[in-house]
Chain A
């Protein structure tokens, strides 16, 4: 919840206070934060006891439990969004174009 509040404050800052000219610097900050977070995740994994042993012994089952649910999420979402969200966007774009042409 705190994360959402922080992001909302950021949105307000971006909308009303933050100068557009610092957009690139803001992107660099995001890259630095992401790299640090991934690094700390790596440290946490490396420190975990039996991490490599678990990876070797349970690797195939874990892979299966990753690939099937992730693959199904990907294809179901792709199908639904192509069917219901993209179409609506296209219709809206077409309407706007028609209106612009009529005017």
Chain B
């Protein structure tokens, strides 16, 4: 799966750089929402096929919020530290990391709020987070625990990194992953604007 993903990414970048834009590529790129919808429906089927999963999830109670809270708090704190290390302000640093892997939104929003350079840093760093989480899930699921895979994925744990979760963790983690993704994705716009509010 990881090899296939790398090949698809490199092939995609190549097609983008060479401006190869035939009917098939155009069809794929202009229908990503539909592809994501099919993927989520398929993921739902996988979850539905697993018996007894919701009893397990119910047993967590409020602890279900532990992972998204840890992800948001650690990311913001890490971003603030980066801000100090790189000569940006703490708020700017926190806002860059506040993208939680959602590179398109973070890049554009921070670009508008703080200029092109910080916007590019936000775009690249959040893109790196998504790519890293995608390819590190097989390793993290073995060496750490399944919940760690959700932590690195941040806001992407409900969509792009979800197939890797399905492949390398269990159905229970997949449900937690989707919940984490929903909470983190909802938090990103607030985090980005909060870091710039007075």
Using a CB–CB cutoff of 8 Å, the interface residues on chain A facing chain B are 2-4, 6-16, 18, 20, 23, 26-27, 29-31, 33-48, 50, 54-55, 58-59, 61-66, 68-78, 80-82, 84-86, 88, 92
Contact = CB atoms under 8 A, between A and B. Distances in A.
A30 B78 CA distance: 33
Contacts of A15: 48-49
Contacts, number: 262
B35 interface: yes
Contacts of A55: 124
Nearest to B94: A69
Nearest to B66: A80
A43 B4 CA distance: 16
B138 to A, nearest CB: 14
Contacts of A78: 144-145, 147-148, 151
A47 B82 contact: no
Contacts of B152: 70, 73-74
B187 to A, nearest CB: 13
A66 B163 contact: no
B90 interface: no
A8 B44 contact: yes
B163 A3 contact: no
A16 to B, nearest CB: 8
A27 B167 CA distance: 9
Contact of A36 (B28, B44, B81, B132): B28
Contacts of B17: 46-47
